[in-house]
């Protein structure tokens, strides 16, 4: 959601903050603002891209400041509602990510004390409360203010009368400290900082930090100072750049041969024929030998649905997959089942809430995430990392394929713990896994052909995706990718379901993308394609390279290299991603930043 950065050090704060905001604008991008203390506190805000803001800021030499990119929650997109929000005496500025649930009540109380508000945001009450409680020490004012606030927040505060300090605090929204030499940072996430430092400290729930250019102090809710450990981030600046690609999304699709290798590295031994997680989760996984419950949102949820097919087939244990925001309405919690939360960012509020709920009900929990140190890794009993490097495009791509790889490795590990997998089976999976980067590269080499097919659907109002078995969640993901970046209405269906209702929507102008693999459902999917063709639409089949039958049934065919049916899901995904990408590109859509969406959804 909103992106947050605070800087104090030896450089000109304005330049550093603008630079960092550009790295953060994938979190939210409806408006942005910056506050600098250059003798006096000065605040500049603009609607739209960071570049609009950059043009409006005069030269300033202040070396301490804060910056924010907004994804609106309270109040329309406007200059007044952008952050920083400032106190009535214009001496204290705050930037905020999260939602203050009791802000209306607080606002009323403050208005009764003659406070006048200038924005519709929930954040402005924080600035007003800070002025109310300020008695010469800004961290004391923050402690006092937070006592009155209900909801979630990651905030950074600065005060003109104490121009050497930045205060950060978090509850249910991420915040990290970047540690440098003679300079320090506070940020909502890692890519903002990578150019300046790879040393980070993660704030835990309820903690507050006070940083100056050469000191960092962290306190818990009782104001007791806590000793924190520094983590070293292995991502580098290049990982967070486009490297010549027109969009981050395309770069991240093309990263996949490498990110698949990264997900396998150190975990799969062809020689020993074993699967091992360096993260030491073996004991935890032995809790998953009877049943597994997966919770996640969006694309990560679809990875969970793919995982269900994989785990059930390999381990022969039941898997329930639940949308995280629905999990709380689930009345049965089976303590003996392992709960796996899948979250690329490790910060999605709904997924974290489900994870906490599972843990509080006594279930053992495992997080699959891309971000070491993220809240998910702190809540869960154990975690495994996708190791995909930063994903900047709002639409998840490389992290989705790596989540699936980790679910497959999890299945293989559980099957070895249960002793239900023949050693030949394990060896075959290992060999096929090793082939995956090459198979995905083959798809990427065929990108122009996929673009040619994309032209067939770029002007459609609606596109359907169908598949059976493991290809059903891939259809859901293919449709989600297309709708979120191209704004074409798209829906994924289990191929057998069309005739139970959706056929009513099908016209000759509704292209259907059908995923067809050589498995026991093959003939049934062909029959479904026949039913569709009888109603006029064009069918684009995604089929095995050796399938000679499919051309008689579909109008266009995109091919993927033969592999086991379970593992074909990875190259098929690459086709779906490229199809969505090319359609969106042909329609000139803002691919990396689709309207109304943000990369990390930190509000429920």
- Under the rule (CB under 6 A), what is the footprint of ligand F6R? 297-300, 343-345, 348, 351, 395-396, 480, 484, 600-601
Q: What burial class does residue 561 get, using C-beta atoms within 10 Å of its C-beta: 0-12 exposed, 13-18 middle, 19+ buried?
A: middle
Cβ 343 to ligand F6R shortest distance, Å: 3
The C-alpha atoms of residue 577 and residue 511 are separated, in whole angstroms, by 17
Nearer to ligand F6R, 162 or 255 (CB): 255
Cβ 601 to ligand F6R shortest distance, Å: 5
Q: What burial class does residue 301 get, using C-beta atoms within 10 Å of its C-beta: 0-12 exposed, 13-18 middle, 19+ buried?
A: buried
Give residue 106's Cα distance to chain centre. 32
Cβ 385 to ligand F6R shortest distance, Å: 13
Q: What burial class does residue 577 get, using C-beta atoms within 10 Å of its C-beta: 0-12 exposed, 13-18 middle, 19+ buried?
A: buried
What is the set of active-site residues? 2, 599
Cβ 351 to ligand F6R shortest distance, Å: 5
Nearer to ligand F6R, 158 or 485 (CB): 485
CA distances from 268 to 311, 405, 408, 431 (A): 17, 11, 11, 10
Q: Supply 11's token pair.
A: 């450089």
Cβ 102 to ligand F6R shortest distance, Å: 26
Q: Supply 387's token pair.
A: 């190791």
Nearer to ligand F6R, 38 or 189 (CB): 189
Q: What burial class does residue 117 get, using C-beta atoms within 10 Å of its C-beta: 0-12 exposed, 13-18 middle, 19+ buried?
A: middle
Nearer to ligand F6R, 297 or 412 (CB): 297
The C-alpha atoms of residue 263 and residue 540 are separated, in whole angstroms, by 31
Residues 6 or more apart in contact with residue 182 via CB below 8 angstroms: 9, 10, 213, 214
Name the residue with the smallest CB distance to ligand F6R: 298
Strands in 297-369 per DSSP E: 319-323, 338-343, 364-369
Q: Supply 314's token pair.
A: 């390999």
Nearer to ligand F6R, 126 or 480 (CB): 480
The C-alpha atoms of residue 568 and residue 517 are separated, in whole angstroms, by 8
Cβ 302 to ligand F6R shortest distance, Å: 8
Cβ 340 to ligand F6R shortest distance, Å: 13
Cβ 194 to ligand F6R shortest distance, Å: 19
398-418 helix and 569-586 helix, angle to the nearest 10 degrees: 170
Among 164, 147, 187, 169, CA closest to 66: 187
Residues 6 or more apart in contact with residue 286 via CB below 8 angstroms: 414, 417
Residue with tokens 């999917």, as numbered in its chain: 525
Nearer to ligand F6R, 86 or 176 (CB): 176
Among 97, 86, 6, CA closest to 41: 86
Cβ 554 to ligand F6R shortest distance, Å: 26
| Rg of the chain in Å (alpha carbons) | 25
The C-alpha atoms of residue 543 and residue 251 are separated, in whole angstroms, by 25
Note the maximum CA span of the chain: 80
Cα-based torsion angle of the residue sequence 466, 584, 309, 414 in order, rounded to the nearest 10 degrees: 170
Cβ 342 to ligand F6R shortest distance, Å: 7
Nearer to ligand F6R, 343 or 528 (CB): 343
Nearer to ligand F6R, 302 or 309 (CB): 302
Residues 6 or more apart in contact with residue 538 via CB below 8 angstroms: 456, 511, 512, 555, 556
Among 190, 163, 162, CA closest to 176: 190
DSSP one-letter code for 512: E
The C-alpha atoms of residue 578 and residue 446 are separated, in whole angstroms, by 10
Nearer to ligand F6R, 344 or 486 (CB): 344
Nearer to ligand F6R, 262 or 577 (CB): 577
């Amino acid at each position: 959601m909103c992106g947050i950065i605070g800087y104090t050090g030896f450089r000109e704060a304005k330049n550093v903050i603008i630079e960092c905001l550009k790295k953060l604008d994938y979190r939210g991008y409806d408006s942005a603002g910056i506050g600098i203390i250059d003798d006096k506190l000065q605040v500049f805000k603009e609607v739209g891209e960071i570049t609009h803001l950059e043009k409006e800021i005069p030269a300033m030499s202040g070396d301490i400041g804060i910056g924010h990119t907004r994804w609106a929650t309270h109040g329309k997109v406007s200059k007044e509602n952008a952050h920083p929000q400032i106190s009535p005496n214009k001496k204290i500025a705050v930037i905020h990510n999260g939602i203050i649930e009791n802000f209306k009540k607080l606002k009323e109380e403050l208005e009764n004390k003659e406070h006048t508000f200038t924005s519709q945001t929930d954040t402005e009450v924080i600035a007003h409360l800070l002025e109310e409680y300020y008695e010469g020490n800004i961290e004391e004012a923050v402690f006092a203010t937070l006592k009155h606030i209900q909801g979630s927040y990651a905030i950074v505060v600065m005060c003109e009368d104490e121009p050497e300090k930045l205060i950060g605090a978090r509850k249910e929204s991420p915040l990290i400290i970047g540690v440098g030499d003679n300079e320090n940072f506070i940020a909502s996430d890692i890519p903002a900082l990578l150019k300046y430092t790879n040393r980070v400290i993660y704030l835990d729930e309820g903690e507050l930090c006070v940083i100056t250019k050469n000191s960092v102090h962290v306190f818990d809710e009782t104001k007791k100072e806590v000793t924190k450990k520094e983590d070293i981030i292995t991502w580098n600046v290049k990982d967070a750049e486009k490297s010549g690609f027109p969009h981050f999304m395309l770069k991240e699709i093309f990263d996949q041969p490498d990110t698949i290798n990264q997900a396998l590295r150190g975990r799969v031994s062809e020689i020993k024929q074993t699967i091992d997680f360096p993260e030491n989760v073996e004991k935890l996984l032995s809790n998953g030998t009877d049943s597994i419950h997966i919770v996640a949102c969006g694309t990560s949820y679809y990875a969970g649905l793919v995982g269900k097919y994989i785990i059930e087939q390999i381990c022969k244990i039941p898997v329930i997959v639940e949308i995280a925001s629905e999990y709380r309405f689930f009345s049965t919690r089976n303590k003996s089942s392992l709960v796996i939360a899948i979250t690329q960012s490790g910060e999605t509020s709904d997924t974290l809430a489900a994870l906490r709920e599972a843990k509080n009900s006594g279930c053992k929990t495992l997080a699959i995430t891309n971000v070491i140190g993220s809240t998910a890794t702190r809540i869960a009993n154990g975690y495994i990392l996708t190791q995909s490097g930063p994903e900047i495009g709002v639409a998840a791509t490389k992290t989705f394929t790596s989540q699936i790889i980790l679910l497959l490795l999890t299945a293989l590990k559980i099957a070895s713990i249960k002793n239900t997998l023949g050693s030949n089976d394990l060896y075959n999976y290992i060999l096929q896994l090793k082939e995956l980067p090459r198979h995905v590269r083959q798809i990427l080499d065929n990108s122009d052909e996929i673009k040619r097919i994309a032209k067939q659907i770029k002007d459609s109002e609606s596109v359907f995706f169908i598949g059976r078995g493991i290809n059903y969640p891939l259809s859901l993901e293919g449709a989600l990718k297309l709708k979120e970046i191209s704004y074409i209405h798209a829906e994924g269906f289990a191929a057998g379901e069309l005739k139970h209702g959706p056929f009513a929507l099908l016209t000759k102008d509704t292209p259907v993308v059908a995923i067809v693999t050589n498995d026991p459902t093959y003939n049934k999917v062909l029959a479904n394609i026949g039913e569709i063709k009888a109603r006029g639409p064009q069918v684009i089949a995604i089929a095995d390279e050796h399938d000679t039958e499919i051309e008689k049934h579909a109008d266009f065919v995109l091919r993927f290299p033969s592999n086991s049916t379970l593992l074909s899901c990875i190259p098929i995904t690459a086709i779906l991603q490229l199809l969505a990408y090319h359609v969106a590109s042909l329609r000139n859509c803002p691919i990396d930043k689709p309207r109304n969406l943000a990369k990390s959804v930190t509000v429920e």
